[in-house]
Structure 1
Amino acid sequence: MTIDDREREVRRRIAAHELYTDHAPGLERLEEERIRGKELADAYNRTAPRDQPGRADILRELFGTLGERVWVEPPLHVAYGNYTHLGDDVYANFGLTLVDDTDVFIGNRVMFAPHVTITTTGHPVHPELRTDGSQFSAPVHIEDDVWIGTGATILPGVTIGRGSVIGAGSIVTANVPPMTVAAGTPARILRTITDADREWTYRPPRTLTADDI
């Protein structure tokens, strides 16, 4: 099997959500993609806060596609970078981690609080299937106007529907419908977002009681 054949087979397995390894002989181009993405992320993380033109240039080279008016606070961490696609007016706070072994699609006006992780990749449960580092990948879709809270983790294959909110610290293992609030470990739907939410006022946190045990 030639180098091209080996790489083509791995990419087929990724697209089919089959198990694969990405570090075998003949996969040097994949390794180079990963290293280049990490070099660009490292360069981005070392930019000066006032160097907005330089940051924009790096993001355009790093990501597969990049919309207008995207703001990413360093540090940013990527597996590849070039498999992530961002729409317009995306805001990512500190510590966004993108395990983008396959595509991550991020829509317009998406907001990330600090330390959000999006991973397209996981490993099989049985240890015998992990002895060679086998993994699987599935694309993640985050639709327009989503807000993801601090420390949330989005797992492989998940779609988060338009306008939804993911609570801080959530682990999202299933698709989230549009216009819903979901939170928890694993995340569950708490409620639907309605027109009543247009009336916004600050509500201070309640005080825990013995009934919360």
Structure 2
Amino acid sequence: MSELTEKQKMLQGLEYFPSDKSLQQDRANAKRLCQQFNQFDIDDRKGSRKIIKSLFGHCQGAWIEPNFYCDYGYNIATGKNFYANHGLVILDAATVTFGDDVMIAPGVLISTATHPLDVVKRNKGIETAKPIKVGNSVWIGMGAKILEGVSIGDNAVIAAGAVVNKDVEPNTVVAGVPACVIKTIPV
């Protein structure tokens, strides 16, 4: 049996080397597309949407305000009516899946990547990534950070500045560092 590539390891959630040439090329391609998107004529929304559709693995409908950055793009999937305000960063070494009607405020960071606690592995450049899933009708507030492996349930609200490092139940509001439930949303 052949050995897994670094990309296959990354996509399977195993330890991998992000410095691998193939992964570097994938990131460079995504950076070029992000750069094109961020420099697109503001009056040509159709053209900028076309870039996002070619960048993302799956895109049912997205309106993203520039500037936007991601690592790979092909690991990002959006449902219908996805909206992200300025300054969204998605580090998508693993899948990042958004449901329908998701709204993201300015300056949000979503990161699937993490580094080992073991200093020897970390100094070698090893990394792992865990998927992030965002349900339907979620609102992520300004400056929030969503960390690796988190699932956010339908209708949840992430308060501005929250750092989400564990799953968020549906119909809840979370806030703080680390984020915790501050309110239940009546349904």
TM range (shorter): over 0.9
Structure 1 position 18 matched with structure 2 position 11? no
Partner in structure 2 of residue 45 of structure 1: 38
Which residues of 2 match residues 1-213 of structure 1 at below 5 A? 5=2, 8-24=4-20, 28-68=21-61, 70-195=62-187
**Shift in Å, 1:176:** 0.2
Separation (CA, whole Å) in 2 of partners of 1:117 and 1:194: 28
**Shift in Å, 1:133:** 1.0
> Does the CA-based 8 Å contact 1:138-1:156 persist in structure 2?
yes
TM-score normalised to structure 2 length: 0.94
Structure of greater Rg = 1
Separation (CA, whole Å) in 2 of partners of 1:131 and 1:20: 13
Percent of matched pairs sharing the same residue: 35
**Shift in Å, 1:20:** 1.7
SS of residue in 2 equivalent to 1:177: coil
**Shift in Å, 1:91:** 0.6
> Does the CA-based 8 Å contact 1:14-1:138 persist in structure 2?
no
Structure number with greater CO (CA < 8 Å, separation at least 6) is 2
> Does the CA-based 8 Å contact 2:64-2:86 persist in structure 1?
yes
Separation (CA, whole Å) in 2 of partners of 1:85 and 1:97: 14
**Shift in Å, 1:130:** 0.7
Which deviations, in whole Å up to 9, do the C-alpha atoms of 1:71-118 show, x marking residues without a partner?
Answer: 100000111111100111011000000000111001110000001011
SS of residue in 2 equivalent to 1:131: helix
Separation (CA, whole Å) in 1 of partners of 2:92 and 2:12: 16
> Does the CA-based 8 Å contact 1:47-1:55 persist in structure 2?
yes
The residue type paired with residue 55 of structure 1 is S
Separation (CA, whole Å) in 1 of partners of 2:155 and 2:71: 27
**Shift in Å, 1:126:** 3.0
Q: Which runs of 5+ in 1 are unaligned?
A: 196-213
